[in-house]
Amino acid sequence: MATVVYVKHKGFCLTDEPVENDSITESHVTNGLQELPWDLYLPEDGEDDDVDDKTKSPPPTSPPKKLSKLEKREARQVKKVNASRRKKLQREQELGANGIDAKIPEFKPYLAKRELKSLFNSIIEENCESGKTDSKILQYHSIALYKSDLEHLLPGEWLNDNNISLIYELIIQMFIKQGRTFSNQIQILFPSVIQLLVHFPDDVEALLPVDDLKKLKFIFLPLNFIDEVDVDLEDDNNGDHWALGVLSLLDNTLYVYDSMQIDDDESTDIQLKNLAKKLQSCKSFVHGKIKIQIVKCDQQRNFDDCGVYVIMISCYLINQFLFNDEMSLDVSKVKFNPLDARLYIMKLVSRLVRI
């Protein structure tokens, strides 16, 4: 498994030294999204909408404020403190499960589902025109979110392209563009681009922002596997399963995080090899043969949460890259909570519609 260090004057580099990262050696429970400091750019839940205009966050069409070196250092320190606090609370919760009094309540799925549904209804009531079957909820840079997209965040629903694209756009605008010096060595591609990349028969470089990709070290690829290789791309919601690919140009390896791994999955293997060949043809930024490595990760417990896992793992890794000086692509010790992630995303949408 690749281990990476952040070097002040070079950016991200591979290292043979073991990474001293507690999240690798200790079991870690998270919804993925909570790893990132959203509070730097979004109003808190329940913040008064009637605050003075001067104190409001900038509108979503304008870029977030540029953080100073001091603010970036403080953000990294906050992340460390929060990580330490979460580990302490988690240990207390585990002790409570063994008969010792715990200081925090355990996660209650029923209450989370109720809060998720209540928040959904509130957003729809405040932002949708009555009588319309589908209404636009918000516009954030290139992503327009509609009522039908929001419905996919409810329990039992399968996330669509737009759900993933919204979180990716938020990460790009708030964290990668405003991150440390070499955060531009990381690129996140939207699902629609990957769909074209996989199925486009000719020059795939024409589909990609090649000039931006030349300076990259890591590219995040949301993969949508299908049972039938030959499909009509004009059909809506083609695909049967989401997984996350992270292309490391440091070692020419495509790391694949699949929350529903199946042994001897011939269809998935064919599609991954096809993707690797397509990426290898992009000589402008890929130099050499691409290896495929399936990464051990937490497995979903139903047939609906694959897209949520793509978002959770993406956020977890992005936090590693942007706020840690030593990091690993290993997530084998991390346990993800997809229901909590759905609720967290709905809360982010609720905060976005107020700015």
The Cβ of residue 230 has, within 10 Å, a number of other Cβ atoms equal to 6
User: Is 219 within 8 Å of 290 (Cβ atoms)?
Assistant: no
The pair of structure tokens assigned to 49 is: 């909408």
Distance CA(250)–CA(14), nearest Å, equals 7
Give tens-digit pLDDT for 291-346. Answer: 999 999 999 999 999 999 999 999 999 999 999 999 999 999 999 999 999 999 99
For residue 86, the model assigns a pLDDT of 54
The Cβ of residue 49 has, within 10 Å, a number of other Cβ atoms equal to 9
Distance CA(105)–CA(81), nearest Å, equals 21
Distance CA(256)–CA(68), nearest Å, equals 35
Report how far apart, in Å, the C-alpha atoms of 296 and of each of 32, 217, 257, 332 are: 16, 22, 7, 5
User: Is 308 within 8 Å of 130 (Cβ atoms)?
Assistant: no
Report percent pLDDT > 90 for the chain: 54
For residue 171, the model assigns a pLDDT of 97
For residue 332, the model assigns a pLDDT of 94
**Under 8 Å CB-to-CB from 349, ≥6 apart: which residues?**
123, 137, 138, 145, 150, 153, 166
Tell me whether residue 97 is in a domain. Answer: no
355 three-class SS: coil
Work out the mean pLDDT of the chain and round it to a whole number. 82
Tell me whether residue 241 is in a domain. Answer: yes
Q: Output the domain CATH number for residue 260.
A: 3.40.395.10
Tell me whether residue 89 is in a domain. Answer: no
For residue 59, the model assigns a pLDDT of 43
**Under 8 Å CB-to-CB from 52, ≥6 apart: which residues?**
none
User: Is residue 84's pLDDT more than 60?
Assistant: no
Tell me whether residue 65 is in a domain. Answer: no
Closest CA to 167 of 102, 110, 242: 242
Give tens-digit pLDDT for 102-152. Answer: 344 578 999 999 999 999 999 999 998 876 788 999 999 999 999 999 999
Rounded to an integer, the average pLDDT of 210-235 is 77
Cα 46 versus chain centre, distance: 25
Tell me whether residue 91 is in a domain. Answer: no
Instruction: State how many domains the chain has.
Output: 1
Report percent pLDDT > 70 for the chain: 76
Give tens-digit pLDDT for 253-264. Answer: 999 999 999 887
Cβ density class 323-335: b for 16+ within 10 Å, e for less: bbebbbbbbeebe
The pair of structure tokens assigned to 270 is: 């064919």
Tell me whether residue 50 is in a domain. Answer: no
Tell me whether residue 172 is in a domain. Answer: yes
**Under 8 Å CB-to-CB from 234, ≥6 apart: which residues?**
none
Element (H, E) at 14: strand 11-14
Q: Give the pTM.
A: 0.82
Domain residue limits at 295: 3-42+109-125+135-228+237-353
User: Is 244 within 8 Å of 314 (Cβ atoms)?
Assistant: yes
Tell me whether residue 316 is in a domain. Answer: yes
What is the rounded radius of gyration, in angstroms, for the C-alpha atoms of the chain? 20
